[in-house]
Structure 1
Amino acid sequence: MLRPAFAALAFATAAASLFTVSTADARSSRGEPLRVELPTRFAQCPQFFANGQPPQVPRQPALRELCYEAFAILHSGTTRTPVYVAQRLNRRLIEDADEKRADRFFADARLPRDERAELEDYKGSGYSRGHMAPAGDMPTSSAMAQSFSLANMVPQNIQHNSGAWAKIEQDTRRYVLRAQGDVFVITGPVFTRESERIGPHGVRVPTYLYKLVYDAITGHAWAHWQANHEGDRVSRPISYAELVERTGIEFLPGRMD
């Protein structure tokens, strides 16, 4: 079993101070993507991973690490979406969550143009811009603004996003409020041969979405696995081992079942 990871409490303040412009504006006066100066190596934001160890992902091209104030992303320039998004949550962070929702989506300028999604990709696509790290989890206004980065989004069925998936996000927050310590949450998309692409830059649409929840105090881990289509109800959670088998990702390296 992994030992609980203890975050550097000063990170959020330090990370927020690295912004060169306000994330509340999301785009420059010329409409260019917001440029931020946050770390781009997981070694600089280990607090988002259980025991400080990022998931082990099969080798693939165009992967980039991105740190934000309240989450970390492994981004794929091939799909122009996250591979996964990692969070560390606890009762204090959820209680501090900023209830004032930002709504300014932006393309993260830390990603090369030929690897990132743009606002125009989602326009008229019929899909919502689905948060992987939910806006409702964000403890500060700056973290809330950062959660609207398109690097944190996947094309998601609109009804699923506001229905079953929203309930999973709410249920996860309720669990964190009852937990005795840190809960690590990893969320991401799964693609199949049937996965289509949208927009002029070809953002890939996931066939499935998953959310892994790991209680670092109890060692209990489970995952939600949902098809990305209309009318899908919240399905029964699957085991950690089953999630690893389905995705090929070792989300909790060194974990003992």
Structure 2
Amino acid sequence: MHHFYRPAIAALLFTSATVSHAAENFSACLQFFAHAKPPSLTQHPTDRALCYDAFAVLHSGESKTPVFVAEKLNRSSVMDAHEKRTNRFFADARLRAAERAELDDYKDSGFDRGHMAPAGDMPTAQAMAQSFSLANMVPQAPEHNRGVWAKSVEAATRKYAARASGDIYVITGPVFVPNIAKSPSIGSGVHVPTYLFKLVYDQDKNRAWAYWQQNDDSTRGSKPISYGELVKRTGIEFLPGVQPRG
């Protein structure tokens, strides 16, 4: 595996003096986190917690993308997830104008507005509409977004949840290398991630794994990594107090 990004990511994530589980910020949507415990990570001044009907977002005003997006999937929710796509993207008015992506930022950028909580996971019409918030998006390479990520990551996660015995907790997000400030951006400063990850945690089996893929049109997929490896690479304790099996 490549190890060059670890020191840079760790330095980025631990520059703030405040480390928080963010439970108080996500108090209205703790159901999307295993054992009602959001990830433990360094909190930055422009981070904002946002609750939606079917997912929760920790949004970064620095990158103008999510830090992570959390969902809870199970057999019932996957069976209900057959809503018609709205494709009506919008800027979330709960975020400050200077800290959020706007529709024009993606125009002619060459990047897709890549869902972190996929539209295909949404169990109701309102949840589907909410999933098109730009707070749920990152600039994603088009072939990656529509190809291996959609088929081998998002669809595979739904397939697993559909046959699981209980709830599956999913956390998805971007990684910027060497850091947000030095990563490329589009529009008015919406930063482009180098990697994307999707953590899948089966609570009944106490089993977790993570997809880790480069945000590039040439990406063809890769073997999932362990939960411990994801924590090392990002510096985020996604499942506080949990020691999942691989």
With the shorter chain as reference, the TM-score category is: 0.7 to 0.9
State TM-score, norm by structure 2: 0.86
Displacement of 1:59 in angstroms is: 3.1
Match of 1:18 in 2: none
- Say which of 129, 136, 153 aligns to 1:145: 129
Unpaired stretches in structure 2, ≥5 consecutive residues: 1-23
Q: Is the 8 A contact 1:106 1:118 kept in 2?
A: yes
Residue 202 (1) aligns with residue 202 (2):
no
1:55-74 aligned at under 5 Å gives the runs: 55-74=39-58
How large is the Cα RMSD of the aligned pairs?
Answer: 1.1
Counterpart CA distance in 2 for 1:213 and 1:154 is 19
Displacement of 1:256 in angstroms is: 2.2
State TM-score, norm by structure 1: 0.83
Residue 53 (1) aligns with residue 40 (2):
no
Displacement of 1:102 in angstroms is: 1.0
Letter matched to residue 172 of structure 1 = T
Match of 1:7 in 2: none
Match of 1:130 in 2: 114
Match of 1:177 in 2: 162
Show structure 1 runs of 4+ deviating over 6 A: none
Q: Is the 8 A contact 1:98 1:141 kept in 2?
A: no
Judge which range, 130-139 or 162-171, deviates more: 162-171
Q: Is the 8 A contact 2:101 2:190 kept in 1?
A: yes
- Say which of 218, 223, 233 aligns to 2:220: 233
Identity among equivalent pairs (%):
63
Aligned residue-pair number: 217
Counterpart CA distance in 2 for 1:191 and 1:47 is 28
Q: Secondary structure at the match of 1:238?
A: coil
Counterpart CA distance in 2 for 1:216 and 1:244 is 18
Counterpart CA distance in 2 for 1:59 and 1:103 is 31
Residue 156 (1) aligns with residue 140 (2):
yes
Counterpart CA distance in 2 for 1:61 and 1:131 is 24
